[in-house]
Amino acid sequence: MQSGWSSDRDLLLELDRAVSLREGIERSVRQAIRDGRLTLGALLPSSRSLAGDLGVARGTVSAAYAQLAAEGYLDLRQGAAPRVRWVPPRQPEPVPSPAPELRPRWDLRPGRPDAASFPRHAWSRANRQVLARAPDEIFGYGDPRGTMELRRALADYLGRARGVDTHPERLLICNGFTQALTLICSALRASGATTLAVEDPSAPRYRGLAEAAGLTVIPVPCDQDGLRTDCLSLTGARAVLVTPAHQYPLGAIMSPARRTALVEWARRCRAVIIEDDYDGEFRYDRQPVGALQHLDPEHVIYVGTASKTLAPGLRLGWLNPPAGMAEALRNAKEHLDRGTSTLEQLTFAELIASGTFDRHIRRMRGIYRRRRDELVHALTRTHPGLQLTGISAGLHALAYLPEHGPSERQVRSRAARHSLALRTLSSFWHQPPQPAPQAIVIGYATPASHAYGPALAALTRLLADV
């Protein structure tokens, strides 16, 4: 068997040397057409190019092409490339029909921004500017920590807007919070850690990531002031994952006393705090609270993303580790994927440096605040028995169901009938208290603007129904 690639149009041919060269070319091209590799109208290499690549006489290829044209497979015209003229009908293979995916009409699930609000024009403009002036080196392998342009822009933004104590050399760019936590857990395990304390309730996915890295997950209860540090001290853990800006899903904002107690625990136990700055940019009814990290940069790993401020599909995140963990995390990132997409990093850096990112956040903060107000108004007017919490910040609220009202199971069942997607609190517990409170976690940022009013109407109808 002999393979050949044409120089003007690539075409792989497997030639059977058991037959003549001409017949081998005929069979191979004919089979490529029958198999669908060459489709109707596809252009083939010229006889000269194909003969050169196969190392055969041009006349041999011309004769093979002529035979295929006589059979109706090819169209040969003087001065034009050979073209596939006819493709025999193929009998489709029976494929089992997949079950149709039932998409809810309305979506109020938490943890998602309004995807329709992504600043497409600003992003496109910044991307064009980056491509116009960036050197060719951006298309090669870069620093696994991320581009210096983005790390400088982020260091300025995080220090200015979130009070993070950082430096471009310390920051590491990653593919969202999922990869950040994966890198951190792997580094913790490599350093000898065996456990990770997490908030209870919290996102099940993140508990799974820690367990996949070989860490035993220890749940720590939360209350209206955030993680209970008195319970944390009893776990023996040397690392804890927290969402102090807006606890997910309870919506609590960690109190100053708890923040101080948490840092003191980390110093006393020589432990590390993983700060997920979840919803940190979205505050509505009170003075913004800075990141926990500035209280003790050497005991806190700060993690942030663009998933809620821009879009989760960008897969852009960053972490700022203590000096003692920086090298281990850099090496882990390099071994995992050599770095995050350079073009996205440079485009994001341009958005930050130009002030567009700040303006976008301010605009979305106003939009989400109005949505929050509409949610509160709709539910307090139609269902005054519901208790709403976690509404001073973030993109979701918690609605506690009345003690003698419907159960979460009933709400979920009726939600399907109303074609409404939402989540209930029970899916977030690691070790639910007894009795466990019944609540709905409402993501008011998820729908597009035109769909938000109808989604709220569907929610109020659902609650009236149960």
Looking at residues 108-117, what average pLDDT do you find? 95
Beta strand extents in 201-329 (DSSP E only): 216-223, 226-227, 239-242, 272-276, 300-305, 317-320
CB atoms within 10 A of CB 12: 11
Contact 109, 421 (CB under 8 A): yes
Residue 406: what pLDDT?
84
What distance in Å separates the CA atoms of residue 87 and residue 404, rounded to the nearest whole number? 69
The strands making up 195-200's β-sheet, listed across from edge to edge, are 172-174, 317-320, 300-305, 272-276, 239-242, 195-200, 216-223, 226-227
Beta bridge partners of 217: 196
pLDDT at 94 over 70: no
Alpha carbon of 91 to those of 29, 42, 87, 94: distances in Å? 20, 21, 12, 9
Q: Are strands 172-174 and 317-320 parallel, antiparallel or unpaired?
A: antiparallel
Residue 361: what pLDDT?
97
Alpha carbon of 209 to those of 298, 340, 418: distances in Å? 24, 20, 33
Q: Which amino acid is at 13?
A: L
| Three-state DSSP class for residue 278 | coil
Residue 370: what pLDDT?
97
What distance in Å separates the CA atoms of residue 444 and residue 459, rounded to the nearest whole number? 11
Band of the pLDDT at 403, cuts 50, 70, 90? confident
Tens digits of per-residue pLDDT, 338-394? 899 999 999 999 999 999 999 999 999 999 999 999 999 999 999 887 899 999 999
Looking at residues 318-328, what average pLDDT do you find? 96
Query: Does an H or E element contain 2, and which?
Result: strand 2-4
Summary mean pLDDT of the chain: 92
pLDDT at 61 over 70: yes
Query: Which residue, chain included where needed, has tokens 């994001």?
Result: 348
How would you classify residue 73: left for phi > 0, otherwise alpha for psi between -120 and 50, otherwise beta?
Answer: alpha
DSSP H helices, 134-278, are 148-157, 176-190, 204-212, 229-232, 256-269
Alpha carbon of 312 to those of 112, 115, 258, 305, 371: distances in Å? 8, 9, 30, 8, 20
Length of the chain: 466
- Percent of the chain having pLDDT more than 70? 96
pLDDT at 287 over 80: no
What distance in Å separates the CA atoms of residue 428 and residue 94, rounded to the nearest whole number? 42
What distance in Å separates the CA atoms of residue 117 and residue 115, rounded to the nearest whole number? 5
What distance in Å separates the CA atoms of residue 12 and residue 3, rounded to the nearest whole number? 6
Tens digits of per-residue pLDDT, 190-222? 999 999 999 999 999 999 999 999 999 999 999
State pTM to two decimals.
0.84
How would you classify residue 303: left for phi > 0, otherwise alpha for psi between -120 and 50, otherwise beta?
Answer: beta
Residue 3: what pLDDT?
54
Lowest-pLDDT choice from 6-20, 63-77, 324-338, 446-460: 6-20
Query: Phi and psi (nearest 5°) for 408?
Result: -60, -40
Q: Could you give all domains of the chain from N- to C-terminal order, each with its CATH number? A: 2-84 (1.10.10.10), 106-111+363-465 (3.90.1150.10), 117-358 (3.40.640.10)
Query: Does an H or E element contain 465, and which?
Result: helix 449-465
- Which of 8-17, 40-49, 339-348 is modeled with the greatest confidence? 339-348
